[in-house]
Amino acid sequence: MLQLLAQIVPLAIAGAISPVVLMGALAILDGPRAIRQSAAFSAGVIGTTIVLFVAGFLVAVLRRDGDTPAWFSGDRAHVVVGVMLIVAGIVLGSIRPNPTRTKKFEAKFLSGTRPLHDFVIAGIALMITNGSTFVVLIAILHEVARADVLAGEETLALGIATFIVVLPATAPLAAALFGGARMRARLDTISQLAMRYGRFVMAALWIAFGVKDVLSVVLT
């Protein structure tokens, strides 16, 4: 179990470093109904993450023939996932974010009075359209599929991964409820750092994990 967590927790942290969800969550806190809107947005992010993990778990992990693991947990899949991480890391590191466009979209979205379900939909849309979500999802599910652990431990590991991945949405809500202005200021600083350096950290982590996965098969 600890070995599995050592594999998936860094991947989940790499997914949480993505500034897209964090910037959206912080922008919503400036809205007219900050707490309710933030809670609705968080619900969309959490619900989508859970659905994706559960669906992936059912497809990739539970499809086993007796004691023979599915293809997704084999060495070939390990190489494929490793190459995917390397390519995704290179692409991510070469992309330049456009904060101006993001700010314009946030201002347009938050203008006027919107129903709460719009913020739920926004959380769902951000998770579905954010490519890093699926890179992290596939990599984590692959590690869970390869691990020789009990079903309950697999579920616990995915629960921990889900908690970490959704932190960019839930941390601003928690700050608004319990942290006060000082915590909000810290999150703003983290958001700025994530926008400036987050993609490079994510790219480095993905490439490192990808190289490790490929070499672990090639050298054995």
d(CA 1, CA 6): 9
> First and final CA of the chain: distance in angstroms?
23
Ordered by start, the domain boundaries in the chain are 2-215
Query: Quick one: which of 220, 169, 118, 128 has its CA closest to 16?
Result: 169
How much of the chain, in percent, has pLDDT values that exceed 90?
Answer: 25
> Per-residue pLDDT tens for 44-56?
999 999 998 888 8
Indicate if the pLDDT at residue 108 is higher than 70.
Answer: no
Q: Residue 114 pLDDT more than 50?
A: yes
CA–CA separation, 58 and 201 (whole Å): 30
Is the pLDDT score of 127 beyond 70? yes
Mean pLDDT of 158-172: 91
- pLDDT (tens digit per residue) in 168-184: 889 888 887 887 777 77
The yes-or-no verdict on residue 80 having pLDDT over 80 is: yes
**Is pLDDT at 220 greater than 80 in this prediction?**
no
Is the confidence at residue 68, as pLDDT, over 50? no
* Global pTM value: 0.82
Average pLDDT over residues 33-53: 90
